[in-house]
Structure 1
Amino acid sequence: MTGDGAALGRVTGLVLAAGGSRRLGRPKQLLPYAGGTLLDATLATARRCGFGQLLVTLGGAAEQVEETVDLSGTEVVRNPSYGEGCSSSIAAALPAVHDSAHGVALLLGDQPTVRPADVAALVAVAAHRPIGVTAYDDGIGHPFWLGRELFGELATLHGDKGVWKLVDRAGDDLAVHRAAGPVPPDVDTWADYERLVGGAREAR
C-alpha cells in the first residue's frame, strides 16, 4: 500500500474501462502491455493504491475483457450506455460506491503509468474538497478526486468532458496536487499505443 492507508481505505477507486475503442479499431483494454493487457496494468496500479473499494466499469468488449483480464479484487459495473461517453460510466458506478466512502479517485483504464504515490497525495490534499485534480508539468490529468457532495450532480452529467466542466467552474473549491513529470499517456489511437509501449521499453 502506498501513502496514507487509513485515508485511502475510506476512498473508492473507480477505473473507467468501458470505452468502445472506436478510434483504435480494436479493444484497447486487451492490447498487450507489460506482460499482460493494458487494463491488467492499470488495475495492478489501482490495487497498489490500497483503496477501500475498487470499481471498474466495462462496456465495449465487456465479455472479452471479463474472460481475459484479471479482475480480482475489483467490483465490475457494466455500463450499457458506454457509447454516450465517460460521464455515463461514472453515473453507472455511483450506486455501487460504498456508503462509507468519502469520495472517488477517478482513474482511466488506458492510463497504466499513473503513480500510486500521486493518488495518495491527491487524496491527502482533496479529501475535504468536492473536487480535485493532478497538475503535471505540462497540464492537468488524472487521477481526479470526486467528493461525495458531488455525486448528485455527477449522476446527471453527459459526454466525455462532463467532469472537466465541473473542474473548469470549481474555482476556489478545486484542490490541486502538483505532480512531477508529464501527464501520463493514455491510448486513443495506434500511435498513442506505440508511444506508450516505446516509453515502457525505454524505462527498463
Structure 2
Amino acid sequence: MFVTGLVLAAGASMRLGEAKQLLPYRGRTLLDATLELARSCGFDQLLVTLGGAAGRIRDRVDLAGFQVVENAEFSTGCGSSISTAVQAVDPRADALVLLLGDQPGVRAADVRRVASTATPLAVCRYSDGLGHPFRFGRGIFPELRGLHGDKAVWKLLHSGRYPVTEVPADGPVPIDVDTRADYERLLAGETR
C-alpha cells in the first residue's frame, strides 16, 4: 500500500499571536518535532502545507524529505490546506494520513496503526475522545478536494457517508497547541 503523510502547518496562529510552528520545543521548533515524527512513520510520500509565516518557516525548519505545498488561502481554515495538498498527492497513493504540525505528542506507533487500516476513514480513539491522526482512503480524495473552513475533516468524519475505523490509542488526545496555555501545558509535560 502506498501512503502519503500530510502535515498541516499553514495556520497563522491567530490565537497564539506568534508563529506556533517556530516555538521552541525540545531543542528545535514545534514543527521540526512533528516533521521528525512524520519521517519516522515510513510514509511513501511526505507533504507539508505552509501559509502563514512560510518564509520564516523555510528559513528555520528542516523541511528535508517533504514536498512543500503553499496554501495562499490559509486564513480560511485547515480545510483549504487539505484541499490544496490533495492536488500534490502522488497518483499511486492508496491513502492519505493527516497530522497536525502543532501536535508533537502523537506517537509513531499510533500513526502506523491508523495508516494500516483498510476502511475509507480511520481516526485514533484516545481515552478521552477521538483525535488525530486521520486516515483517508483514495475513494475520499475527491471529497477532500472540496473541503473548506475549520473542522472540515471532523464534519466529514461525523457525516455518516463513510465507514470509520476507530483505532485504540493509549492515553488522552495529545495536546494541540493553539494558545499560550496549550504551549505551556505541552512544555510542562501534561498530556491534555
Aligned residues: 191
Q: Which amino acid aligns with 1:188?
A: D
TM value normalised by structure 1: 0.91
For 2:184, what is the secondary structure of its paired residue? helix
Amino acid at match of 1:155: R
Q: Following TM superposition, where does structure 1 have runs of at least 4 consecutive aligned residues deviating by more than 3 angstroms?
A: none
Superposed displacement of residue 113, structure 1: 1.1
Which residue of the partner structure matches residue 178 of structure 1? Answer: 168
Q: Which residue of 2 aligns with 1:57?
A: 49
Matched, 1:33 2:7: no
Which deviations, in whole Å up to 9, do the C-alpha atoms of 1:147-171 show, x marking residues without a partner? 1111111111211111111111236
Aligned to 2:69: 77
How far apart, in 2, do the equivalents of 1:48 and 1:79 lie? Answer: 25
3-state SS, counterpart of residue 185 of structure 2: helix
Coordinate RMSD, CA, aligned: 1.4
Residue 89 of structure 2: aligned partner: 97
Structure 2 residue identity aligned to 1:37: T
Equivalent position to 1:114, from 106, 111, 131: 106
Say whether 1:15 aligns with 2:7. Answer: yes
Q: Is 1:137–2:127 an aligned residue pair?
A: yes
Q: Is the 8 A contact 2:49 2:85 kept in 1?
A: yes
Three-state SS of the structure 2 residue aligned to 1:24 is coil
Distance across 2 between alignment mates of 1:53 and 1:172: 24
Deviation at 1:145, TM superposition (A): 0.4
Q: Which residue of 2 aligns with 1:196?
A: 186
State the partner residue of 1:123: 115
Partner SS, residue 159 of structure 1: coil
What CA distance in whole angstroms lies between the structure 1 residues aligned with 2:162 and 2:56? Answer: 43
Correspondent of 1:45 among 37, 43, 56: 37
> How far apart in 1 are the matches of 2:160 and 2:65?
33
Name the structure where helix makes up a greater proportion of residues.
1
C-alpha separation in 1, matches of 2:151 and 2:145:
14
Correspondence for 2:139: 149
Given the two structures, how large is their TM-score scaled by the length of structure 2? 0.96
Helix, strand or coil: the match of 2:90? coil
Alignment partners' CA distance in 2, 1:43 and 1:196? 17
Work out the percentage of aligned pairs sharing the same amino acid. 57
* Contact 2:49-2:69 at 8 Å conserved across structures: yes
Structure 1 stretch 18-27 or stretch 115-124: which is displaced more?
115-124
SS in 1 for 2:87: helix
Question: Is the contact between residue 131 and residue 170 of structure 1 (CA under 8 Å) also seen in structure 2?
Answer: no
